Amino acid sequence: MPMNTPDQYQDIRDAVRALCAQFPGEYHRRIDEERGYPEAFVNALTEAGWLAAMIPTEYGGSGLGLAEATVVMEEINRSGGNSGACHGQMYNMSTLLRHGSEAQKQLYLPKIASGEWRLQSMGVTEPSTGTDTTKIKTTAVKSASGDRYVVNGQKVWISRIQHSDWMILLARTTPLAEVKKKSEGMSIFMVDLRQAE
Residue 157 within binding range of ligand FAD, rule CB under 6 A: yes
Pairing verdict, β 166-172 and 119-123: parallel
* Total site size for ligand FAD, rule CB under 6 A: 9
E strand spans, the chain:
119-123, 139-142, 149-152, 166-172, 186-192
Cβ proximity to ligand FAD, 24 vs 130, nearer residue: 130
Residue 123 within binding range of ligand FAD, rule CB under 6 A: yes
- How near is the Cβ of 117 to ligand FAD at its closest, in Å? 17
Q: Using CB under 6 A, which residues numbered 81 to 110 contact ligand FAD?
A: none
Residue 65 within binding range of ligand FAD, rule CB under 6 A: no
Please, which residues bridge with residue 191 across strands? Answer: 167
Query: Applying CB under 6 A, which of residues 51, 85, 158, 171 lies at the interface with ligand FAD?
Result: 158
Query: Applying CB under 6 A, which of residues 53, 69, 73, 122 lies at the interface with ligand FAD?
Result: 122
Label residues 67-83 b or e (16+ Cβ within 10 Å = b): ebbebbbebbeebebbb
Cβ proximity to ligand FAD, 75 vs 126, nearer residue: 126
Residue 32 within binding range of ligand FAD, rule CB under 6 A: no
Minimal CA–CA distance to 96: which of 195, 184, 170, 181?
A: 170
Residue 159 within binding range of ligand FAD, rule CB under 6 A: yes
Q: Are 118 and 108 within 8 A, CB to CB?
A: no
